[in-house]
Amino acid sequence: MDNDPIIWRCVSWKNSGGPGQFYHRQYLFDDLVSTDSLLRYIKELEIRGIEDVKLERKGPMSFVMQNNLNPKPRPGAKRMSEEKKNHKLEEYQ
């Protein structure tokens, strides 16, 4: 197991539109994912019905952290990791 895993930027989208209409990309998620977690992440995208994914190699985690290479998500996209931070109010009552 590598102590400094490679980090990937994963941008995913669905295409909307139909015959006789213009196709439009609806960006859904834009996350940074380590190589170790990439397969699990792709499986989650598949469950959510994502049609396309673009992967961009950012480099080793130490380089990404040192150079603050955590870009803002694409317009319209969100981070899947942020969903995990949002807890339901009922959990705290």
Query: Counting runs of H as helices and runs of E as strands, what totals does the chain give?
Result: 3, 3
Mean residue pLDDT across the chain: 81
pLDDT tens across 64-88, in order?
888 877 777 777 677 776 766 655 5
pTM score of the predicted model? 0.73
Residue environment code for 56-82, b if the CB has 16+ CB neighbours within 10 A, otherwise e: eebebbeebeeeeeeeebbeebeebee
Run of H or E residues at 33: strand 24-34
